[in-house]
Amino acid sequence: MPDSYACTGGARIGHMNATWPFAKLRARADLLTLQVNLLGTFHFQPSEVVALQPYTQIPVLGEGVRIVHRKAGYKQKIIFWTFGNPRAVIAAIEATGFRAGGVDGDLDPATLQALQQQEGQPFRPGALLLLFALWLVPFFGFVSGLAPGELPGGPVPALAFAVMPLFSLLCLSVPGFARRVLKPGRTIEEVRLVLWLMGVAVPLIFSLAFWAIGTGPA
């Protein structure tokens, strides 16, 4: 019997969706964990899970495992999306010894406290508010002053687009900065993938979009 199981996929938490590969499901005999980039980390002991159910929204493309739970403070609808067979995922979870409605393991108080600190989205709310203010306010304040049909240009929108990559770079490379923007007990590994996306993919998409606009027909 394997001691643990891990699978990468997507997730739905309430009405919020995260696509592949922004969610990771981990299981061991005494704990089931669903870690979703930006949406948070969710821990379940066996007694907190009512059932693990195959869930189909769209055959093949939208299949997953629904975690039916009784844990207070969590959204009722929690689904792990997988490209694999949901029944096979459930079987792999149960092969670790985890059983929905089973007896909880002997997790000591310190471990339980550490698990509680890991729940929810990992960034401090103030850090996120400041980030989006620095990103949105300069750009939209500048764009609102443009004449009809005029394209944004100059240092202000460029500075706004540089905020996300700079924030990502500081989080990934400066431990002291990461500690200031993350909640206590959280680690950069929880958001490394989404930080790379913010730092590389988003600026690239915006750059290509403005390049396409700038080189289009006059």
Kindly state whether residue 190 falls inside one of the protein's structural domains: yes
Q: Is residue 201 part of a domain?
A: yes
pLDDT > 80? residue 213: no
Same domain for 93 and 21, yes or no, is yes
Task: Answer whether 9's CB lies under 8 Å from 20's CB.
Answer: yes
Q: What is the mean pLDDT of residues 178-192?
A: 85
- Give the chain's domain count: 2
**Averaged pLDDT, 156-170:** 74
Is residue 77 predicted with pLDDT exceeding 50?
yes
Beta-carbon neighbour count of residue 209 at 10 Å?
10
In which domain, by residue range, is 135 found?
125-214
Q: Under the phi-then-psi rule, with left for phi > 0, alpha for psi from -120 to 50, and beta for the rest, what region is 23?
A: beta
Domain final residue, candidates 112, 139, 162: 112
Where does the chain show beta strands of DSSP type E? 4-13, 16-28, 31-36, 40-44, 49-58, 62-69, 78-81
Question: Tell me, what's the pLDDT at 121?
Answer: 78
What CATH number does residue 93 fall under?
A: 2.30.29.30
Q: Which of 143-147, 193-197, 198-202 has the lowest mean pLDDT?
A: 143-147
Residue 182 lies in a domain: yes
Q: Could you say which of 112, 134, 168 is where a domain stops?
A: 112
117 belongs to a structural domain: no
Is 50 exceeded by the pLDDT of residue 123? yes
